[in-house]
Chains A and B, each alone.
Chain A
């Protein structure tokens, strides 16, 4: 069932009704038993009383034939509806009626000679108690109609059910109102949320909330905050990306206009060369933007695999568009020695390494060499990329991993994204990126990752 309100009302009504029904059933049974016990005791007592009166000759019944219609005594009762409840007969042991009460039938109330019995006399069910008096040679029978007993019980039940039925509408009203009031904070919240425009991510008011709803509201507010933050990040990222793309585009456009406007072949050639460079740079920027977007969108659990650090380093370097002679990049080989195994996500670690190597190549002079190597340390495995470029001024070294941050010692072709990508990629596998200036000048970038057991 979808509605808490309907469910609550149904449960409350159902259980109240059931409790009532059970109570009525219980009271019916116990009243019945009690009435039977009390009335049986009365029957027995009445029969014994008549018997003892007979024995003491307080009352005298002519024990002869013909006196059958003699009426012995009368039971007076103040309760008018139950008037003449009891009927009494006195029979000789031989089976002739010697006396009976006014309302008693002329036929024997029971065939049972002694004790309780139930019989049907003249279309009515009777409960009868018989006492035999051997000395006087008589049998006393006292009985009452079962119908009277049943009406007693049903009177009790009616007295119970009628007020209950009268209270029922009131009870329904109370249940409806209290369920409604109990659920008011929920429906208030639902109303606030439905009337909100989709871009309204202000937190809901969390004060004066029942403690059952407060956690839900707090969780919702937390979610709102995260969505808002993500949206802000995305917005500023998009704005930054657009700005970063505008400058190389302006360069390309300017160069194209120069090529169109100039007749000088040298100017022409230079402009076209610059356009090619500009397009290369722009496409690299776009690729990095996509890499970063993919990194940030990928919130799946990181899937660490054991890989060989040297193999990964070599593979990453091989994917780079490098000058054909490859002279500027030295990868310290680890093939001869035992392979160093690390836990990493190969795709993302490779992305981080490629960006670090590109960064190093872009920032170092054409004639110098970028070195890559793997170092085993006690706390993990270090993947080192170092160059002979200008390094990073100390006051910028913590900032350069930010997106679109380009330090003072910027390269001509950088985008300000390479280190941010490396940082985001290594962050996925619980590794770290450390940047430090080398003593002899140049930058050393160190990726530290977890070692995957000893090499074989």
Chain B
């Protein structure tokens, strides 16, 4: 899942980038409202983590601009001001959740996952398709009840496919899901990860749609 993190404090930004990365997210980090506007118009994110006090404005400006454009990307606000009126203002501006500093990294990850899940209209925390179950919370995957060990990128790739099991995802779309800005994309990385996933989950679990991309195999009702 690709997230945009907007935070001006370098220490916390580094912590969020690394920590949310460890939790299975692909993180793009920006430090100003201006950069946040640019990133949000250039790239589709599955969630935004927003600090309220930014050098060139308030995170609420970013949020209301986003909502004005009809973009419903789930947003979690982070702020040192966590009094009730502040929370109300944040939620009313279109935030999906609100977390006061200092926060627990695991709680933030869980809240972001929950916000993303609600945004997609799912009530279940886990994804299931064709005998494979994926649990984003503890980053575990089982195949017919047996635990399957996946790397971080394999997990991100599988999660992206299982989010929309009946659609075809292009190779560039998958690359964007698993690589942040700062990371260098290896040319055949998607192919390599798909190959490994097939060997772990069964060769026909992920189908190649020639010239278009990849999708999961059809499941008969």
Contact = CB atoms under 8 A, between A and B. Distances in A.
Interface in A201-258: 242-244, 246-255, 257-258
Contacts of B102: 246, 249-250, 252-254
With most chain B CB atoms within 10 A of its CB, the pick from A250, A262, A278 is A250
Given A257-B106, A281-B11, A250 B22 contact: no
Interface stretch (A267-275, A353-361, A373-381): A267-275
Interface in A262-302: 262, 267, 270-271, 274, 277-278, 281
Interface residues of A, number: 29
B55 interface: yes
Contacts of A255: 11, 14-15, 18
Interface in B98-112: 100-106
A261 B55 contact: no
Q: Is the interface of A mostly helix, strand, loop or mixed?
A: helix
A138 to B, nearest CB: 123
A244 B11 CA distance: 13
Q: Is the interface of B mostly helix, strand, loop or mixed?
A: mixed
A128 to B, nearest CB: 109
A249 B101 contact: yes
Nearest to A406: B55
Interface residues of B, number: 25
A261 B11 CA distance: 17
Interface in A373-410: 406-408, 410
Contact of B9 (A251, A261, A270, A407): A251
A299 to B, nearest CB: 30
With most chain B CB atoms within 10 A of its CB, the pick from A247, A253, A262, A281 is A247
A247 B12 contact: yes
A257 B104 contact: yes
Contacts of B55: 406-408, 410
A412 interface: yes
Contacts of B101: 246-247, 249-250
Interface of B: 8-12, 14-16, 18-19, 22, 32, 53, 55-56, 78, 80-81, 100-106
Interface of A: 242-244, 246-255, 257-258, 261-262, 267, 270-271, 274, 277-278, 281, 406-408, 410, 412
